[in-house]
Amino acid sequence: MLLSDLGAEVIKIERPGGDGMRQWPPISNGYSENFASLNRNKKSVVLDLKETRDLECARALAGTAHVLIENNRPGAMSRLGLGYEVLCATNPALVYCSISAYGQSGPRAQEGGFDVVLQAVSGVMSVTGEPDGAPVKCGVPISDFSSGLYAASAITAALRAAEQSGLGSHLDVSLLGASLGVAALQTSEYFGSGKIPRKLGSAHPRNAPYQAFRARDGHFVMAAGNDGLWHAVCDVLGNPDIASDPRFETTALRAMHQDVLKSLIEGYLSDWTIEDALSRFRAAGVPCGPINDYESALSDPQVQAMGWVQPIDLPGGKKSKSFGPAVRINGKQGHIRGAPPALGADTEDVLAELAQSRTQTG
């Protein structure tokens, strides 16, 4: 999807019956809006890779492609005759990206894995939630999506290299590697101190005040990420003297004593509403915000101003909405160019175009 947002033609190969995500609710007129959220701008081609003719079509499509992305267990594509070594022999500039749970080699390579498993194995769940709480995963599929982000970034770089050298590459992207890669704060804490990072709720291991705080009518988040902002917090609270408290003189000391600091700050906030607190901290330039649900987040004036929420037409005629491309280029918002496809909607056209191309080159 990220590559299609940047203009790539993406052909999604689906098995008969389709991607399992097509069955995920909410379902509108028989079509999954969950599936739609990740499959805009794509073409759908149904191929049964157990059938010789369809397998040949897959090989032929790979022969015309700049990029092939697959997320089978290591070795599965090679057993089908669709491995990197075979395909690059006829298409040397092919960028071949394999996404798997643990990577293409190593003792765990053949194990499967979904997002929650990799959040557990990678350590993400060990630092998520309240200190005395049961294990919980991050509420968004961070292992899945960070892998996709790593893959898209690596593919764009590999395409540039292939353009210059004429030679493609085999990219090995794993959910485990991506999950550890985005955990730089935690891995550096362990390597640097030997201490195992722990759950801190909404708090930060190296910064304070930098978390959720309770006001009279609920919680909000405030983040004073440097000394200047800390002094601004003290002024907003009406007690500039706490800035000179020896427990809070530096960022490191504030993080070390953040439990005490949180209690102290919440003592001031007990008579303030969330809106009181937000207006006062914003006026002082201290980053802060409400803890939104997704209805509130998607209706935020900034989201509307950026044009991120866009209309989308689903197969079957229903009009819906989706979160569009997140990145602006030269100040312009990208748009959803094409609706998510019905299963196999493009099979006939794509294979006809492929046959014509093979006839012309043959």
How many residues does the structure list for the chain?
Answer: 362
Q: Which residues of 312-350 are buried (b: 16+ CB within 10 A; e: fewer)?
A: bebbeeeebebebbeeeeeeeebebeebbbebbbbbeeb
In the numeric block, the tokens 């790593």 are attached to 150
Q: Which amino acid is at 79?
A: R
241 included as an active-site residue: no
Are 254 and 229 contacting, i.e. CB atoms less than 8 angstroms apart? no
- Give the span between the Cα atoms of 135 and 152, in whole angstroms: 30
Question: Which residue out of 19, 144, 259, 349 is catalytically annotated?
Answer: 144
At residue 353, the 3 state secondary structure works out as: helix
* Region class of 189: left (phi > 0), else alpha (psi between -120 and 50), else beta: alpha
Residue 240, C-beta contacts closer than 8 angstroms, at least 6 positions apart: 231, 234
The secondary structure of 262-316 as a DSSP string is HHHHHHHHTT--HHHHHHHHHHTT--EEE---HHHHHT-HHHHHHT-EEEEEPTT
Extract the tokens encoding 337.
């160019």
Distances (CA, A) of 184 to 181, 203, 276: 6, 16, 35
Q: Which residues are catalytic?
A: 144
